[in-house]
Amino acid sequence: MSSSVRKTFISKLSAQSRCPVCGGERSGLAERSFEGAGAVMTVATYDCEAIFGADAAHIINLQPCASGSALAAKLMTIEVHGGMPKEGTQ
Ligand SMILES: [Zn+2]
């Protein structure tokens, strides 16, 4: 794979100053080498604990954003209530 494509994956991830799932603030962006894999990956960490990495071939999710589960729980709660939850029920 050409180095320009590698740069595209890394610059795409580097441009994500907020979590692409929940919009949480980014807490770190660093290059990390993984033992055995022999590869250097650009790793972005977010306040919501989501971690994404970019290497030569793709962008991968190293740790999922927890907000998806929180949102799913909230949506199920709203559904059971038959609409928006009432004041003080959250
Ligand atoms: Zn998130």
pLDDT in tens, 26-66: 999 999 987 776 778 999 999 999 999 998 889 999 999 98
For residue 88, is it within any domain?
no
Mean pLDDT over the full length of the chain: 86
Q: What is the pLDDT of residue 2?
A: 63
Centre of ligand 1 to C-alpha 44, Å, is 11
Q: Is the pLDDT of residue 87 over 80?
A: no
- Give me the pLDDT at residue 3, please: 67
CA 72 to ligand 1 centroid distance, Å = 14
pLDDT value at position 59?
94
Domain count, the chain: 1
Give the residue numbers spanning the domain of 13.
Answer: 3-81
Cβ-based neighbours of 16, under 8 Å, separated by 6 or more:
26, 44, 52
Whole-model pTM over 0.75: no
Q: Report if residue 90 sits inside a domain.
A: no
